[in-house]
């Protein structure tokens, strides 16, 4: 994703990377023991620890669906499940039981809440091809929110600066109006009172709309905008400094 990810979902990326390493296997003689294997008693203990952690942190029940154990760091676990809330929010609990857990609940809860509203804004402001990624996260930090989590819109009104919005979209040049469209999008996000944002915007030529479905969209890619920082201070009238020209429009 062109190296623009900053705080967003960082720990998710780390989890994927760690478990890819862990599951890839070690070739040294010292790694002959498979640390990923768990006795039923161990798995039960980890599940109970995760359920208790969620109960203590958020006063909600947690249904565990899967437990994975690290191969190199044998005491590290990734526990996937869902909260017993209104929407059965999917959650990962990661770490070492019982006192070194972190979780994805607030990130996922707020991303789910924001998603339809931001999709509406994007569709309203730019000539949208598709949204590649959308998330709202506090990165590798342990969240400060406990118990009954407030609506993300109430939190944004107060000016939440620890969480970051990631938005990756593909748009059409809209007859050469893409900069004006992007400025409108940024202004709408600013009005929502976001602070730290990372936006990656790929601009395709309008000819892609009528191109054959099997044609490579990359042939129609003109420009990429990498916009990051405090959206409250970004100069929407000077977007060229965020632009990487890929090819000239026809």
Note the pLDDT tens digit of each residue in 85-132: 989 999 999 999 888 899 999 999 999 999 999 999 999 999 999 999
The pLDDT, as a whole number, for residue 28 is 42
Same-domain check for residues 82 and 195: no
Same-domain check for residues 230 and 168: yes
Q: Is the pLDDT of residue 208 over 80?
A: yes
Query: Is residue 8 situated within a structural domain?
Result: no
pLDDT: which is higher, 211 or 29: 211
Q: What is the mean pLDDT of the chain?
A: 87
Domain ranges, residue 38: 33-103
Q: Is the pLDDT of residue 134 over 60?
A: yes
Query: Is residue 15 situated within a structural domain?
Result: no
Query: Is residue 56 situated within a structural domain?
Result: yes
Q: Is the distance from CB of 153 to CB of 160 less than 8 angstroms?
A: no
**Last residue within a domain, chosen from 103, 129, 154:** 103
The pLDDT, as a whole number, for residue 201 is 98
Query: Is residue 65 situated within a structural domain?
Result: yes
Banded pLDDT at 35 (limits 50, 70, 90): low
Query: Is residue 125 situated within a structural domain?
Result: yes
The pLDDT, as a whole number, for residue 30 is 40
**Last residue within a domain, chosen from 103, 130, 151:** 103
- pTM across the whole model: 0.82
Same-domain check for residues 130 and 145: yes
Segment 55-77, tens digit of pLDDT: 999 999 999 999 998 765 557 89
**Last residue within a domain, chosen from 81, 103, 125:** 103
When pLDDT is averaged across residues 148-161 and rounded to a whole number, the result is: 94
- In this structure, the strands spanning 100-103 and 128-137 are unpaired
Same-domain check for residues 97 and 121: no
Q: Is the pLDDT of residue 22 over 90?
A: no
Percent of all residues in the chain with a pLDDT value above 70, rounded to a whole number: 83
The pLDDT, as a whole number, for residue 250 is 63
Query: Is residue 142 situated within a structural domain?
Result: yes
Same-domain check for residues 98 and 132: no
When pLDDT is averaged across residues 175-200 and rounded to a whole number, the result is: 97
Domain count, the chain: 2
Same-domain check for residues 163 and 64: no
The pLDDT, as a whole number, for residue 132 is 98
Same-domain check for residues 164 and 84: no
Same-domain check for residues 119 and 192: yes
When pLDDT is averaged across residues 31-45 and rounded to a whole number, the result is: 75
Same-domain check for residues 83 and 123: no
Query: Is residue 46 situated within a structural domain?
Result: yes
Percent of all residues in the chain with a pLDDT value above 90, rounded to a whole number: 73
Same-domain check for residues 84 and 158: no
The pLDDT, as a whole number, for residue 10 is 46
Query: Is residue 38 situated within a structural domain?
Result: yes
The pLDDT, as a whole number, for residue 228 is 96
Same-domain check for residues 83 and 139: no
Q: Is the pLDDT of residue 175 over 80?
A: yes
Same-domain check for residues 98 and 117: no
The pLDDT, as a whole number, for residue 27 is 41
């Amino acid at each position: 994703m062109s190296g623009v990810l900053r705080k967003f979902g960082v720990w998710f990326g780390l989890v994927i990377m760690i478990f890819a390493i862990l599951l890839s296997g070690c070739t040294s003689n010292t790694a002959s023991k498979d640390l990923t294997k768990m006795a039923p008693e161990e798995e039960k203990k980890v599940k109970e620890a995760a359920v208790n952690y969620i109960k203590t942190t958020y006063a909600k029940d947690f249904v565990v669906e899967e437990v994975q154990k690290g191969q190199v760091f044998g005491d590290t676990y990734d526990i996937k499940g869902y909260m017993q809330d209104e929407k059965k929010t999917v959650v990962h609990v990661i770490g070492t039981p019982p006192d070194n857990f972190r979780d994805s609940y607030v990130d996922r809860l707020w991303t789910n809440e924001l998603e339809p509203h931001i999709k509406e804004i994007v569709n309203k402001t730019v000539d949208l091809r598709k949204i590649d990624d959308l998330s709202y996260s506090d990165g590798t930090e342990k969240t400060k929110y406990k118990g009954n989590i407030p609506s993300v819109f109430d939190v944004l009104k107060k000016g939440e600066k620890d969480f970051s919005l990631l938005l990756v979209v593909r748009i059409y040049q809209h007859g050469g109006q893409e900069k004006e469209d992007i400025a409108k999008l940024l202004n709408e996000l600013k009005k929502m009172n976001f602070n730290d944002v990372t936006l990656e915007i790929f601009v395709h030529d309008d000819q892609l709309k009528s191109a054959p479905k099997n044609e490579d969209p990359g042939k129609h890619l003109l420009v990429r905008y990498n916009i990051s920082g405090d959206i409250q201070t970004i100069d929407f009238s000077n977007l060229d400094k965020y632009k990487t020209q890929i090819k000239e429009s026809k």
